[in-house]
Each structure stands twice: as structure tokens, then as C-alpha cells.
């Protein structure tokens, strides 16, 4: 799976950002190949320092689907809107993503113990 990850730093006007976010999502959700989206609202830093207040992830089956989504008319419009919403103060990453369930991890540990 591949993800488009948006890192929203501290200092972005969240009230304005949150008011405009649904309009951004209208565009982003029309990108071809999008299969999932998620949001992380950071409420506490337990260790270390961070300059982030939100993390958004948009998931695609593979890297090619993500590239095509970004180059689509909806991807380009969404990207322009993000730049306007944040004044360019955003970090945008693409990343390969892997997930596993706890039960699957535990089954491997059980097999190793045998």
C-alpha cells in the first residue's frame, strides 16, 4: 500500500483549516484509486518534541495509483487548495505502508516458539 501523508505543523490556523477541510475532501475523495483516508489529531507529546498538530493519510493500492491520483485534475486542484490553506507551510510525503494485526503477529510468535 502507498500513502500520501500530509503533516500539518503548529502555527496553521486550525479553525480556518477545519472550516475549509470539507471542500478539500470533496476534491481529494475524487482522486482515482483512493481507497482509504485517515486523520491523526495530536493532543499530547509524551516524549521528545514535535511541531505537528495533525497528520492526514490517503491510501492507495500501489505507488502508480498514487502518482496517477496526484496528476489527475482532482489531485492537482486538491494540491493547490492545500497550498492555499496552509500558506505553503505543509509537509507532503509519499510512503510505502504496511500494516498487520496483533493476532497475526502473535501467530508468528507462537510458530517461532514451537
- E strand spans, the chain: 2-9, 34-41, 52-60, 91-96
- pLDDT of 25 above 90: yes
Number of residues that make up the chain: 114
Average pLDDT, the chain: 92
Element (H, E) at 18: helix 14-28
- Contact, 109 vs 13, CB < 8 A? no
Q: What is the pLDDT of residue 32?
A: 97
Segments forming the whole domain that contains residue 77? 2-113
The CATH number linked to 102 is: 3.30.70.100
Tens digits of per-residue pLDDT, 37-93?
Answer: 999 999 999 999 989 999 999 999 999 999 999 999 999 999 999 999 999 999 999
Q: What is the pLDDT of residue 5?
A: 97
Q: How many domains is the chain built from?
A: 1
What lies within 8 Å, CB to CB, of 60 at 6+ separation is 1, 2, 3, 4, 33, 34, 35, 66, 69
Q: What is the pLDDT of residue 77?
A: 97
Amino acid at each position: 500500500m502507498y500513502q500520501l501523508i500530509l503533516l500539518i505543523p503548529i502555527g496553521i490556523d486550525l479553525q480556518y483549516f477545519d472550516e475549509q477541510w470539507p471542500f478539500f475532501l470533496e476534491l481529494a475523495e475524487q482522486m482515482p484509486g483512493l481507497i482509504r483516508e485517515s486523520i491523526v489529531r495530536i493532543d499530547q507529546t509524551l516524549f521528545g518534541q514535535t511541531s505537528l498538530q495533525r497528520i492526514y493519510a490517503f491510501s492507495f493500492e500501489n505507488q502508480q495509483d498514487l502518482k496517477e491520483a496526484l496528476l489527475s485534475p482532482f489531485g492537482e486542484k486538491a494540491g493547490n487548495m492545500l497550498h492555499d490553506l496552509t500558506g505553503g507551510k505543509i509537509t507532503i510525503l509519499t510512503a510505502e505502508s504496511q500494516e498487520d494485526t496483533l493476532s497475526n503477529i502473535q501467530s508468528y510468535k507462537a510458530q517461532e516458539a514451537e
